[in-house]
Amino acid sequence: MKTYLIRRLLLFVPTFFGVSVFIFVMLHTIPGDYATSLMVADEEGGATFTQEDLDRVRDKLGLTGSYPVQYARWLGNFFTGDFGTSWSNRRPVLDRMLPRIFVSFELGVLAVAIAITTGILMGVTAAVRRDTWVDYLFRSASMSLQAMPGFWLALMTIVMLVTVFQWIPPISFASLWDDPVRNISVLLLPAFLTGLRSTAEILRMTRSSVLEVLHEDYVRTADSKGLPRRQVLFAHVLRNALLPVTTLAGFEVVFLMSGQIILEQIFNIPGIGKLFIQAVAARDYPVIQGVVMFISGVVLLANLVVDVMYAWLDPRIRYT
């Protein structure tokens, strides 16, 4: 296991390198020049600029030199912990990202907890009560939730709360350390809506896996010994049924932890997703690159955790 973990961690380096090349090339080959647009905006306000002024701005933004030189300079700073300086407000990128990462992490943890807990419980219930009204209800709800875009569901939920209950969800965000009650009250609804689609996916996968395991010989043996049904389900069936569910949950965790861009915008949550939208609108390349690299790290780490979970759930799996 130790050798496998070291090998996987070493693979992070070429993966990060590939992602960094891709995002750098995409950002620096799109039409337009941030320095030129910045100077033109100043000129429209009444100022004028010369080529020397433009060169000075480009030098401050780190846009001097060829693309390989700019990339090497940015990558070298990145691996020393310097993500660069935000073009839009001249603050270090890392200082802008860290508080927002914590907010997105908090929202993601709530959404993941809701999705995994609800999805597994409903999936097991649907499997045990196969072809009953409970099973049909859960499966119908699952397919309906999968068909609804997350942003549409969020907007319709807000409209319903306002028109039917005359209640507006709180949007004035407060830090967990300053006002925990306010913080949870703001994050609970978007976390629930974020986790709904993942709940539907996990529900369907859990139901299919549990139904397959229920027909295994060792389950029938446990039933014939007179073990309580609850013990058979949770000690014998569920643990073996969780292998494919773990794979799906790993992908859902990545989505929930880093793919909440639209919901953060709708509910005015100052997370990493909202920062990404602001950076794209401002063409703030250092912030965009920092956010993309962070999301890539979340994806790689989640995949590693899923692989380790396999060996914990099934002792027959060994990594060499």
Residue 83 domain-assigned? no
Same domain flag for 68 and 99: no
Same domain flag for 161 and 234: yes
Residue 274 domain-assigned? yes
pLDDT value of residue 230:
72
Residue 279 domain-assigned? yes
Same domain flag for 184 and 281: yes
Find the mean pLDDT for residues 285-314: 78
How many domains is the chain partitioned into structurally?
A: 2
278 falls in which pLDDT band (50, 70, 90)? confident
Find the mean pLDDT for residues 288-312: 78
Same domain flag for 28 and 121: no
The average confidence (pLDDT) of the chain is: 78
User: H helices of 87-237, where?
Assistant: 93-128, 133-147, 150-165, 180-214, 217-224, 229-231
Return the CATH number at 279.
1.10.3720.10
Residue 85 domain-assigned? no
Same domain flag for 46 and 193: no
Find the mean pLDDT for residues 196-215: 82
DSSP state of 271: S
**SS3 category, 275:** helix
**SS3 category, 92:** strand
315 falls in which pLDDT band (50, 70, 90)? low
Residue 319 domain-assigned? no
Question: Phi and psi for 180 in degrees, rounded to 5?
Answer: -60, -40
Q: Give 12-17 contacts, CB < 8 A, sequence gap 24+.
A: 12/297, 12/300, 15/296, 15/300, 16/293, 16/296, 16/297, 16/300, 17/75
**Cβ neighbours for 180, distance < 8 A, ≥ 6 positions apart:** none
37 falls in which pLDDT band (50, 70, 90)? low
Segment of 116-120, 148-152, 224-228 carrying the highest mean pLDDT:
116-120
Q: Is the pLDDT of residue 221 over 70?
A: yes
Residue 309 domain-assigned? yes
Domain coverage including residue 59: 2-78
Select from 22, 47, 78 the last residue of a domain.
78
| Segment 63-92, tens digit of pLDDT | 777 778 888 888 888 878 778 788 777 788
Q: How many CA atoms lie within 13 A of 86 on its CB side?
A: 19
Q: Can you tell me the distance from the alpha carbon of 273 to that of 258, in angstroms, rounded to the nearest whole number? A: 7
Of residues 210 and 44, the one with the higher pLDDT is 210
Of residues 48 and 213, the one with the higher pLDDT is 213
Same domain flag for 59 and 158: no
Same domain flag for 74 and 123: no
Same domain flag for 37 and 99: no
Same domain flag for 223 and 102: yes
Q: Is the pLDDT of residue 259 over 60?
A: no
Place of tokens 């994050």: 187
Same domain flag for 48 and 104: no
pLDDT value of residue 311:
66
Same domain flag for 67 and 99: no
Q: Can you tell me the distance from the alpha carbon of 4 to that of 301, in angstroms, rounded to the nearest whole number? A: 14
Residue 122 domain-assigned? yes
Select from 29, 51, 78 the last residue of a domain.
78
Find the mean pLDDT for residues 167-186: 77
Same domain flag for 234 and 130: yes
